[in-house]
Amino acid sequence: MEKEFMLLEEIEVCRKEMSRLAHENALTSEEVVRISVKLDRLLNEFETLKQKQLTPRKVSCS
């Protein structure tokens, strides 16, 4: 859960920074694209983490 919380915080910081940069620069500027890619990576990481938590684990009876 701690990793999940840390990821959510980082996602929010990144989202705010992207919004700020997008207001100051063109959406296709290197800065905006770079932070957008970072945000995508964080969101994918978060989604992967959530999927792992939802996937039932197989238990062997040996």
pLDDT per residue as tens digits for the range 8-29: 999 999 999 999 999 999 999 9
Q: How far apart are CA 35 and CA 42, in angstroms?
A: 10
List pLDDT tens digits, range 31-46.
Answer: 999 999 999 999 999 9
List pLDDT tens digits, range 43-59.
Answer: 999 999 999 888 877 66
For 61, the 3-state DSSP assignment is coil
Tell me what pLDDT residue 60 has: 67
Asked if residue 1 has pLDDT above 90, the reply is no
Tell me what pLDDT residue 44 has: 97
36-to-9, 50, 51, 54 alpha-carbon distances in Å:
16, 21, 22, 27
